[in-house]
Structure 1
Amino acid sequence: MSSLAALYRYPLKSARGQSLPQSAVDGLGLVGDRRWMLVDAQRGRFLSQRADPRLGQLGTQIDADGGLHLSADGYPDLYVPVPVAGELRGVTLWNDSFRVPDAGEAAAGWVSDFMGKPVRLVYVPADRARTVSSGYGEGGDKVAFADGFPLLLIGQGSLDDLSARVGRTLEMARFRPNLVVQGSAAFAEDGWKRIRIGGLDFRVLKPCARCILTTLDPQTGERSPDREPLATLKRYREQDGHAMFGQNLVCDGTGVLEVGMPITVLE
């Protein structure tokens, strides 16, 4: 039987994530996942490792109140509480433009120094979350600062298959999933429409199109000179011009996920 092998949360978009033994789930995915984001100070455009690989060297933790702890080599640790009042900043994330609370000057100074350019730290409360990518899901499906969907699932068997084709063991961290499944065949998740993990039901919305970020070493931020694993993915996992790896999900309801929970394919 398939089961949940790992849970990952990414408090700050494109920064280092956290491996969790269990996590609460709300209407935006894993509680605390990608509720914070860095944006260009002048234009409000989001930052990611695609153009700013230094983000991957930024450590993050989140507390029970949603506050963000930032850490990096050579920098004092910084705690940023959830903004409760103050300036709303206009931000752009792909094709979405919206307004969210700014975390203030102290946070902006710390992250600007770390990134080497003027940036701002912003937070998305539930009432300012976006709707999932157009044409997918249902009207009430929301997402925080993830690219388009609140949850990403990858099968361990799928990663093992890709590693064998590339010729070296690949880290799951390259692909930044929230949920990792064990006990299923390679790419079995491609055929799933609805699944149940523990007592929670999930809808599988679409495959995840992968980008240059997968070629970054998650520990060093260095780019693979051979453009792997993206080059191999494009050879055998291309669909509509994109290399697909993993499945985007939404959860119907709220509850708790725990590593080891059984996974049932409902449809």
Structure 2
Amino acid sequence: MSNFNNNPYLAHIFIYPIKSLDGIWIPQSTILDSGALTYDRQWAIFDDNDRFVNGKRNNKIYQLRTSFNTQVTQVFLQVEGSKEKIEFNLQTERKEIEVFLSDFLGFSVHLKENKITGFPDDTNASGPTIISTATIEAIANWFPNIEFAEIRRRLRANLEINGVPAFWEDQLFANQNQWVNFRIGQINFQGINPCQRCIVPTKNSQTGEVTNNFQSQFITKRKDTLPPWVNPSQFNHFYRVSVNTKIVDSALDKVLKVGDKIEIIGVG
């Protein structure tokens, strides 16, 4: 899968239109003025107490399969194991989607939309998350019973880099209160910190079943395999992988494309 030619390039772009549900691969993406990818986490599910309904708190979320049309105007919802796939319009059938989700989850939920920033996990680093293909492969090797594609689904990164060794992306952050400037295609980024993982990667992405000892095994292997370019000051613990980013200046209407070259500029 990986091609180590020391010539990093953008190999894949993934967006997750409804936060916590399945992602989709896209060949290119425009950038919102906030720095987020268009349509990424644009919608999110909330309960009546205005709390996110996600895989951290609700295992039934993992049993929902979602797909979208090319324009991301239609969503297709399907319960894992069912042959029935139901289509909804994300703008005109919001109430119908809420009824479907409420019936499935067993409590009242609401689907909210934010076209400006989406619903990022880290509001201080609201750009796309970055990981390398080789990193996903390395982590899959730590867990012989988990396939590469499943590790990719669990980590839910937006941008995947090829042409580099595992954990190359750890060069994209510096000390706390510093950042690394880099460019993908025509778009300038700042690498902020290694992403702190939650309980989600410990669970099967399609069933919610917990993988025993996933977090402890991950921490041990991550610590043991830290490459020399890693800045340890950002690791208060080793349950971290992928890089949180910000967009440096307005990238509105600029396009990020698969195949774009990646260049590290320096520490800011």
Deviation at 1:152, TM superposition (A): 0.6
Determine which structure has the larger strand proportion and give its number. Answer: 1
Match of 2:245 in 1: 249
Q: Percent identity?
A: 25
1:145 is the counterpart of 2:130: no
Measured in 1, the distance between the counterparts of 2:264 and 2:199 equals: 31
The worse-fitting range, judged by mean Cα deviation, of 213-222 and 175-184 is 213-222
1:232 is the counterpart of 2:212: no
Match of 2:16 in 1: 10
Aligned residue runs from structure 1 range 129-140, under 5 A: none
Deviation at 1:242, TM superposition (A): 5.5
1:160 is the counterpart of 2:159: no
Call closer, same or farther: CA 1:11–1:44 in 2, change over 3 Å.
same
Measured in 2, the distance between the counterparts of 1:49 and 1:62 equals: 24
Match of 1:136 in 2: none
Please point out which of 56, 59, 81 is paired with 1:53.
59
Measured in 1, the distance between the counterparts of 2:182 and 2:68 equals: 29
Q: Which runs of 5+ in 2 are unaligned?
A: 1-6, 173-179, 224-234
Which AA in structure 2 matches 1:50? K
Match of 2:43 in 1: 36
The 3-state SS of whatever aligns with 1:206 is: strand
Please point out which of 163, 172, 184 is paired with 1:183.
163
Which AA in structure 2 matches 1:164? N
TM-score (norm 1): 0.77
Q: 1:13-53, CA deviations, whole angstroms, 9 ceiling, x for partnerless residues?
A: 0000101122222224111010101111x211111111223
Q: Which runs of 5+ in 1 are unaligned?
A: 84-102, 127-142
Measured in 2, the distance between the counterparts of 1:118 and 1:195 equals: 43
Deviation at 1:80, TM superposition (A): 3.5
Match of 1:200 in 2: 187
Which AA in structure 1 matches 2:262? I
Call closer, same or farther: CA 1:107–1:27 in 2, change over 3 Å.
same
The 3-state SS of whatever aligns with 1:235 is: helix
Measured in 1, the distance between the counterparts of 2:157 and 2:208 equals: 18
Deviation at 1:12, TM superposition (A): 0.3
Deviation at 1:9, TM superposition (A): 0.5
Please point out which of 24, 33, 36 is paired with 2:30.
24
The alignment covers a number of residue pairs equal to 228
Deviation at 1:236, TM superposition (A): 4.3
Which AA in structure 2 matches 1:124? N
TM-score (norm 2): 0.77
Deviation at 1:151, TM superposition (A): 1.1
Match of 1:111 in 2: 101
Match of 2:210 in 1: 223
Measured in 1, the distance between the counterparts of 2:236 and 2:109 equals: 34
1:79 is the counterpart of 2:88: yes
The 3-state SS of whatever aligns with 2:99 is: helix
